[in-house]
Amino acid sequence: MIEATKTQTPDLGLTDEAMAGAVNILSTLLADEFLLRLKLRKFHWNVTGPQFLSLHGIFEEQYTALADFIDEVAERLRTYGVMSPGTMSEFIDLARLDETPAHNPNAEGMIRELVDDHEIMVRYLRADIDVADEYDDYGLEDFLTAQLQEHQEMAWMLRSFLERSNS
């Protein structure tokens, strides 16, 4: 659990426990999204091979979408009356995803890692939605559900690069 810098505490009809839990969920989600976006940027810069152009484009599309997600998560966090984390050291401490320094897989390896990361995000988000449900924080549940759906679609898009034609 993070020590959030409080601003003015809003009255959202949630218990202190629910508010603190929501802040923890969103802070962790923010860190995970940031690290995943950073991996997408790295792979965008370093992809090679026959699918270069396609992968270069889809990686850019996904890291651009994650930039919007990150902003939405940070702003959602602010609605709970706390300051959003925003440094690499905070993100590394908070994230459930891991960094992979000096790791440069081939194009297929990049795709497999990103599919795994998006699917990990889906599983984390499912668990977070369950916790938000316990807090009766319906807005947070809806917000997390939308994020989950986006990661499901991103994983599917990348998985399609791994499928072999039957013709």
Rounded-to-integer distance, Cα 56 and Cα 35, Å: 18
The CATH number covering residue 59 comes to 1.20.1260.10
Please write the tens of the pLDDT for every residue from 113-147. Answer: 999 999 999 999 999 999 999 999 999 999 999 99
Q: DSSP code of 13?
A: S
Domain total for the chain? 1
Q: To 10 degrees, the CA torsion angle through 79, 41, 102, 93?
A: 0
Asked, for residue 6, whether it belongs to a domain, the answer is no
Nearest CA to 114 among 44, 67, 11, 28? Answer: 44
117, part of any domain: yes
Residue 50 domain-assigned (yes or no):
yes
What is the pTM for the complete model shown?
0.91
Flag whether 141 is in a domain. Answer: yes
Is the confidence at residue 6, as pLDDT, over 70?
no
What average pLDDT does the segment 4-9 reach?
Answer: 65
Examine residue 109 and state whether it is found in any structural domain, yes or no: yes
Report yes or no on 51 lying in a domain.
yes
- Does 167 map to a domain? no
- Residue 31 placed within a domain: yes
Whole domain around residue 109: which residue ranges?
Answer: 16-161
Bridge partners of residue 69, in order along the sequence: none
